Amino acid sequence: MSDEIDAKYEVFRDLLETRTPEEAVKSLEVLGLRDDVIQRIRDRHEQRVIEIREMDEPRVVYKDNRVTWYTGPRAGDKCWPAIVDKLRDTGWNDSAVESLDAASTKVVSLLSHPKEREFSTRGLVVGYVQSGKTTNFTAVMAKAADRGYKLFIVLAGVHNGLRRQTQARLVQQLIEPNPTRWAQLTDLDRDFVPTANAASFFGKSNRTHVLCVIKKNATVLRKFGAWLRSASDYLGDCPALVIDDEADQATVASRTINPLIHDIMGVLPKSAYVGYTATPFANLLIDPSSGDLYPSDFVVNLPKPAGHFGTEVIFGRYALDGEDPGEVDDGYDMIRTVPKSDIDFVRPKRRDDIETFQPTVTETLGTAVKYFWLSTAARRVRGTGVKHSTMLIHTSVNTVVHNGFRAPLEKLRRDLRADLHDPDVQQELRSLWDAETARVPASDFGERTVSFDELLVELPGVVDDCRIIMDNSSSEDRLDYESGPVVAIAVGGNTLSRGLTLEGLSVSYFVRAVSAYDTLLQMGRWFGYRDGYADLPRIWMTEELQDWFRHLSTVETEMRRDIDLYMTEDKDPLTFAVRLRTHPSLRVTTAAKMKDAVKAWSAYGGQRVQTRYFRRDKTWLEVNQNAARDLVTRAMASGLHEADAEHGRHIFRDVPYEHVLDFLRVYQFHEKSQECDSDLLIRYIERRRKEVGSLANWNVALVGNPVDTQLGSFEFAPDIQVGRIVRARLGTTDDIRDEVGYDSVADIKTLMSRRDAAVDLSVGDKGKLDEKEIKEGRRNELPDTGLIVLYPIHKVSEPAAGRKHRVALDAEIDVIGVGLVFPQPKVDSPIEWDYVSADLSNIDIEEEDFTALESEESA
């Protein structure tokens, strides 16, 4: 039977090439397969789906009940294998290829099936600055093409340089290996220009994939939209993937670009929009109810690649809630301070001074440039890594200021070159090199230490080869890495501040003043990979900017933790809003992009926390049973008791917080329940109690069935019992066993109902309240009181009929589930008003119907 299932499963996967999952199942029925065989094939496919969704990396939040149709590359694929070959030719190892394969499979699995009649998917992929997002979306495009997506539109930023760079990468990795499979609407030197007979690209007889790489420019987008509309009769069977590179730039809250993107997608009956960005702040603050490009279907948090230099690596970060500050990394010693007294010499103080401003090579700028030449010479001695070497000078957005740097930098280069044989100059350079290599030892990064005497041999050639490039919108100078090794000092602004890769960047001099998170983070071109010279990068900036980047590192880490956290708690982009920590001197993003944002609660304010994961062995579960019984016994002695035996409910009111803390210290949350961290919960409760006088009292509720049901009852204390409830677990075929032989995790997916979160409120029909009404009721009735709910879960918990993909819980003894509901803090709370998030109040989400389930259980 196993061989038969294997063979038929391959048939099923082949059917998914051209059919939706529902159509594929019907085809199996037509083939005459027995119902039990079809069910086993569906179970195997679902298991593969679960494996994809539960891959350790990347972490994903996705809209519940999305059908996962893509389970990975197949024999016969053409586009993805070609990318693998290209990457291996450039030195990628097996581990790196496997990581890209897993991450891109995750994204493709969340797209809609290309054979669906109509779809409009909205997703967001969050990467790191200079971390390989282009490689990821190229892999996603390849896999989507292998499965039937036809039109690929890449919105490549707003500058020609990034558009051209992206076009070159896609041509190299997608088109050149399979030239007969692709048609290009754009090329390296030309953005989109309408062609005649647009319909010819999309007719059923044309099997080629269509690639268009265009800037987010109003004129270009209008032309492209009109060209697409001319072929509208032929687009019904043209699944399209829109990749929005730098999705927070120009796309969100713009008066021209945003409507034009919507216009293009409106022409396409089958469209999947996937935004890529390392700075998703604006995208996460879009109003989800507005019909805009909020990532309503999924958010993917790409893993940090090995060897990547990000904000935390360079700047360190502050401790998050629940962390020991002494255990948080301070980053590498690669930052050098530019004193405030230097600022007026490298950028104009006032707008009126721009035209007459003449930059000066200050002592710190001169040191930075000299160190750049020294580090470049050391890299030549090593002879490893990328051959290019670049320095970035970014002091102003104004091109006049950039151009003013050419003369003083050229003079510095000529003077140093002429004096390289001067013993005093050599001693100055030696001291600089020895000091820097002592502060950041090469051995810490597995690199070879280069002595000054070794690099001195290469230094004259480095200084001779160095070009001073003004890379801005008014200059014809450009960083061209395609014509051989480059040594360059690039002075620029916006053209160098987003998306464009500065190859071999090792030194940055950055004093540009900005006011928003996303702008500042994108200007950090020093993030990325430093293979062969990981010990050599340096950044010169002011202390204020250092503090800002350290704050940004904290924001970034916390944002990603939110995505990871909610993924494990069965949330999706329409039921959770990622919180973004604010700063007194910086905006999260531009005011226009924040117009729909709302103030959010830090930590657990206004949140509902519940246990989803459990172990099933007696030793572990017995601890939790005893903790629950102890809490109820104390609650009986100190609280006001309200019994509702008819509905299987007990409430103990005004229980002192100390009893709840004692319970949390004993109760064992499964390690996979990231949100249910005892230490974090305890610290938050104590902090709110001490600082704002809240959460001193709690209501303790027992929620189950009436005691006279077939499931029997669980006794929490003498004369205090409720009927057990059923929570079956998600079934898997390859459960990982722990040391006592039980699955290491039993996932019940959801414990609490919305009704339970209002169990201690006096409002009317609790089952009909929405989330907003519950929070409002708690704020009015119990603004400072927390709620903890205990659930006795039957140890067997057989799933109800028709509940696919569920199996019996099969624990050794009854399981105690826990839910905690925290009131929203008051407006003037000093510990709460430091976050913003998207406003989800206008989203109406259906939740699992526990009322119907529990009526079955009690029958």
pLDDT tens-digit readout, 297-335:
888 888 887 777 778 888 888 777 656 666 777 788 999
Decide which of 527, 547, 567 is a domain's last residue: 547
Model confidence band, residue 693 (pLDDT cutoffs 50, 70, 90) = confident
> Is 65 among the domain residues?
no
Tally Cβ neighbours within 10 Å of residue 479.
20
Considering the domain architecture, whether residues 300 and 323 belong to the same structural domain is answered as no
Whether residues 2 and 32 share a domain: the answer is yes
The continuous run of DSSP H or E covering 685 comes out as: helix 678-692
Statement to judge: residues 277 and 235 lie in one domain: yes
Mean pLDDT is lowest, of 111-115, 138-142, 577-581, 633-637, for: 577-581
CA distances from 653 to 643, 761, 816 (A): 11, 11, 20
Helices (H) then strands (E): counts for the chain:
23, 31
Specify whether the backbone of 235 is left (phi greater than 0), alpha (psi in -120 to 50) or beta. alpha
Out of 28-42, 236-250, 542-556, 738-752, least confident range: 738-752
Cα 456 to Cα 480: distance, rounded to the nearest angstrom: 27
Provide the pLDDT for residue 845.
44
> pLDDT band at 177, cuts 50/70/90?
very high
* Residues whose CB falls within 8 Å of the CB of residue 548, separated by 6 or more in sequence, listed in order: 520, 583, 585, 586
Domain termination residue (choose one: 261, 278, 306)? 306
- The pairing of strands 720-723 and 746-747 is unpaired
Cα 313 to the center of its chain, rounded Å: 18
Three-state secondary structure of 540-564: EECHHHHHHHHHHHHHHHHHHHHHH
Q: Are residues 539 and 657 located together in one domain of the fold?
A: no
Phi, psi of 490 (to 5 degrees): -100, 120
Q: What is the DSSP string of 360-399?
A: ---HHHHHHHHHHHHHHHHHHHHT-S-S-EEEEEE--S-H
| Residue 227 one-letter amino acid | W
Specify whether the CB–CB gap between 538 and 371 falls below 8 A.
yes
Where in the sequence is the domain holding 33, given as residue range(s)? Answer: 1-53
Strands (E), 164-220: 182-184, 209-214
DSSP secondary structure, 230-296, as one string? TTGGG-TT--EEEEEETTTSSSTT-SSHHHHHHHHHHH-SEEEEEEEES-TTTGGGS-GGGTSS---
Burial class, 414, CB count within 10 angstroms (exposed 0-12 / middle 13-18 / buried 19+)? exposed
Pair 539, 619 in one domain:
no
Q: Do the Cβ atoms of 817 and 790 come closer than 8 Å?
A: yes
pLDDT in tens, 469-510: 887 666 667 777 877 899 999 887 665 555 456 788 899 999
Q: Quickly state the pLDDT bin for 566 (edges 50, 70, 90).
A: low
CATH of the domain at 156: 3.40.50.300
CA end-to-end distance (rounded Å), the chain:
38
Interval 137-168: pLDDT, tens? 999 999 999 999 999 999 997 878 789 989 99
Residue 59 lies in a domain: no
Place of tokens 């190299």: 172
Task: Report if residue 583 sits inside a domain.
Answer: no
The amino acid at 694: S
Instruction: Identify whether residues 266 and 330 lie together within a single domain.
Output: no
Place of tokens 């704020």: 779
pLDDT of residue 796: 94
Structure tokens at 743: 């699955």
Residue 189 has pLDDT above 50, yes or no: yes
Cβ atoms of residues 311 and 549 within 8 Å: yes
- 493 & 637 share domain: no
Whose CA is closest to 581, among 544, 548, 606, 556?
Answer: 556
Which of 547, 563, 598 is where one domain is finished? 547
Same domain, 301 and 318: no
- 560 lies in a domain? no
**Same domain (yes/no): 469, 353:** yes
Co-location of 77 and 44 in the same domain: no
User: How sure is the predictor about 629, in pLDDT bands with cuts at 50, 70 and 90?
Assistant: very high
Question: For 123, phi and psi rounded to 5 degrees?
Answer: -140, 165
pTM higher than the cut 0.85: no
- Least confident span in 49-58, 354-363, 376-385: 49-58
What's the half-sphere exposure (Cβ side, CA atoms, 13 Å) at 247?
Answer: 32
Higher pLDDT, residue 826 or 792: 792
> How many domains would you assign to the chain?
4
Are 620 and 762 contained in the same domain? Answer: yes
In the predicted model, what is the mean pLDDT of residues 606-616?
86
Task: Kindly give the pairing relationship between strand 487-492 and strand 528-529.
Answer: unpaired
Q: Is residue 602 part of a domain?
A: no
In a domain, 556, yes or no: no
319 plus 301 within the same structural domain:
no
In a domain, 62, yes or no: no
Mean of the pLDDT values across residues 620-648? 92
In the predicted model, what is the mean pLDDT of residues 446-453? Answer: 95
Let me know if residue 122 belongs to a domain.
yes
pLDDT at 617: 92
